[in-house]
Amino acid sequence: MSSSAAAPAAGPAAGPGPGPAAPVVEDGVEWVRPRPDPRSYRNDAILALVLLVGTAVSLIFYRATGTYAEEPWWIALLWAAGMSLPLAARRRFPEIVAVVVSIVYAAGVVGQVAELLISQIVLFISVYTVGAWGRSRLIANITRGAIVVGMFAWLFWQLIFFSAVQDYLPDLERSTDGYMSPYIAFGAIQIFTNLLFFWGAWYFGDSAFRAARERAALEQRTAELAGARARAEAQAVALERVRIARELHDVVAHHVSVMGVQAGAARRVLASDPQAASASLSAIEASARSAVDELHRLLGTLRDDSVDSGAVAVTDAASTYGLARLPALVDEAASAGLPSTFTVIGAERAVPATVELSAYRITQEALTNARKHAGAGATADVRLRYLDDAVELEVANTGASSPRRGSGSGLGLIGMQERADAVGAVVEAGPRSRGGWLVRARFPLAVGVADSEGSASEGSASEVSASGATASDVEDTA
């Protein structure tokens, strides 16, 4: 090699376009760069043809100057083809191409048919490609190391051999008049130039491989984040569906149940007591209006894309339905044919809106179930108890101790459990030993670190129980 090969060519070493998906990038595991796509192979073939033309043109200039002019043209063109055309497979077989190009280059210089411009660019690209596209880091390092060692061994042998040949570069004195002879300075330049040449090919090749690995890792992380986002969106959709189903169940089950009871009462007394029938029809109208209002509110929340629908539903509903509405709810149950009483025990205090909404909905569901399953002559008793660290709600009825077979879907109990889960409460439902059914919900309130931890350990997950022992714990108060 000569000193004319110092500058690397950046254009031919440009990376490929989009190719097959990169393998998984893991720390401590060797990453294998995927093969390029067919378009990249076509680009390599075009590059090889362009460099072949450039090598041929450079040979014409070299021979015009009298350099290596003795050899036939066909040998020079054959050498040019052997030097440039292997680059068409440089990314498919990088190690083989680099070795072939290095051998052809050395043979051309020794046989005095080589040009020293385009051929050194080809050699640089071939060594670069080993680092950038080698499938194994070990094989890539061994291949490049062998080429570098071979080239420098050849260079040192030439410098040592021709130091004794006076006809070779006769203008460079071998003797030392000053601190360094001209021939030694020439040799030092050759060594320094080749160091820069091979270091550049090695460094840029490794840099291209690291950049490809980082891109693959980034794409992998992006795909993982996209997958996690898709799963989160699917989970959010599922939770939203559950929330909507729960709200619809609360609205439909309660109000339609009331309308059904009132319609039956109106039908029975329509002929004998028109005034009572009119009162029942007025109750039906009020329940229908209330159901329509709640459905409009729910649909309005679903259509509002500007804010989170779940937050709007909780805030809006909690501002309307809370503990203050429990007396009206009990009165509504009584007017629907279920004699009910409401009692507040303890000093009232502020309760989070989400707790108020959950308590209201649980009471509403318990009273609806009592009207549907308790039977004729049943009564209900609703008690709201303010404790030091919690709010406790009890809804007891004196009807049947178990729901009639096939009379319900069980969605009401599931909805109560889900509402309790949302606020860290515990809900228990089961028959009473003296007959009837009891629903009790305990909503922990944070009043201190110790109380909060105790409430969290007790109410981290809600539980719906159908055992009589659970209900008997509050038998005396119910």
pLDDT of residue 277: 76
pLDDT of residue 106: 93
Distance, in Å, from the CA atom of 445 to the CA atom of 346, rounded to the nearest integer, reads 15
pLDDT of residue 477: 40
Distance, in Å, from the CA atom of 5 to the CA atom of 354, rounded to the nearest integer, reads 76
Tens of pLDDT, residue by residue over 396-440, are: 998 776 655 545 556 677 878 888 887 888 999 888 888 888 999
Tokens 């071939």 belong to: 126
Distance, in Å, from the CA atom of 436 to the CA atom of 471, rounded to the nearest integer, reads 10
Residues 78-89: b if buried by 16+ CB within 10 A, e if exposed: ebbebbbbbbbb
Domain with CATH 3.30.565.10 in the chain: 338-478
SS3 438: strand
Percentage of the chain beyond pLDDT 70 is 73
Q: Which token pair is 18?
A: 């989009």
Strand bridging mode 437-444 / 340-345: unpaired
Q: What distance lies between CA 153 and its chain's CA centroid?
A: 53
pLDDT of residue 395: 93
Query: Is pLDDT of 253 > 70?
Result: no
pLDDT of residue 251: 64
Query: Is pLDDT of 454 > 80?
Result: no
pLDDT of residue 193: 94
In this prediction, residue 448 has a pLDDT band, given cuts at 50, 70 and 90, of: very low
Pick the closest to residue 56 from 75, 70, 40 (CA basis): 75
Q: Which token pair is 331?
A: 């009165």
Query: Is pLDDT of 18 > 50?
Result: no
SS3 368: helix
Torsion of CA 257, 260, 261, 263, to 10 degrees: 150
pLDDT of residue 474: 39
Half-sphere exposure of 63 (CA within 13 A, CB side): 18
Distance, in Å, from the CA atom of 403 to the CA atom of 278, rounded to the nearest integer, reads 31
Q: Do residues 143 and 40 lie in contact, with contact meaning Cβ atoms separated by under 8 Å?
A: no
Pick the closest to residue 99 from 65, 58, 150, 64 (CA basis): 150
Tens of pLDDT, residue by residue over 364-401, are: 888 888 888 877 788 999 999 999 889 999 999 987 76
pLDDT of residue 185: 86
Half-sphere exposure of 169 (CA within 13 A, CB side): 15
SS3 349: coil
Which of 84-98, 301-315, 331-345, 346-360 shows the highest mean pLDDT? 84-98
pLDDT of residue 364: 86
In this prediction, residue 297 has a pLDDT band, given cuts at 50, 70 and 90, of: low
CA-to-CA separations, 74 to 85, 107, 115, in angstroms, rounded: 16, 15, 14
Tens of pLDDT, residue by residue over 154-190, are: 999 988 888 777 777 667 776 767 677 888 888 899 9
Look up residue 135 and give its DSSP letter. Answer: S
Pick the closest to residue 470 from 478, 341, 451 (CA basis): 478
Distance, in Å, from the CA atom of 159 to the CA atom of 172, rounded to the nearest integer, reads 12
pLDDT of residue 170: 64
Encoded amino acid at 152, one letter? F
Percentage of the chain beyond pLDDT 90 is 33
The stretch 448-466 carries a mean pLDDT of 38
245: how many CB neighbours lie within 10 A of its CB?
14
Q: Do residues 19 and 40 lie in contact, with contact meaning Cβ atoms separated by under 8 Å?
A: yes
Tens of pLDDT, residue by residue over 22-60, are: 567 777 678 888 888 999 999 999 999 999 999 999 998
Query: Is pLDDT of 449 > 50?
Result: no
pLDDT of residue 332: 84
Half-sphere exposure of 312 (CA within 13 A, CB side): 15
pLDDT of residue 119: 94
Query: Is pLDDT of 92 > 90?
Result: yes
pLDDT of residue 320: 66
Instruction: Identify the residue with better confidence: 195 or 184.
Output: 195
Query: What average pLDDT does the chain have?
Result: 78
Give the DSSP H or E segment for 440.
strand 437-444
In this prediction, residue 209 has a pLDDT band, given cuts at 50, 70 and 90, of: very high
329: how many CB neighbours lie within 10 A of its CB?
18
Residues 6+ apart with CB under 8 A from 125: 9, 12, 13, 87, 90
The stretch 208-212 carries a mean pLDDT of 93
What residues pair up with 341 in beta bridges, in sequence order?
381
In this prediction, residue 70 has a pLDDT band, given cuts at 50, 70 and 90, of: confident
pLDDT of residue 172: 72
Pick the closest to residue 42 from 89, 112, 84 (CA basis): 89
pLDDT of residue 303: 61
Q: Checking phi first, is residue 386 left (phi over 0); if not, alpha (psi -120 to 50) or beta?
A: beta
60: how many CB neighbours lie within 10 A of its CB?
11
Statement: 338-478 belongs to CATH 3.30.565.10? yes
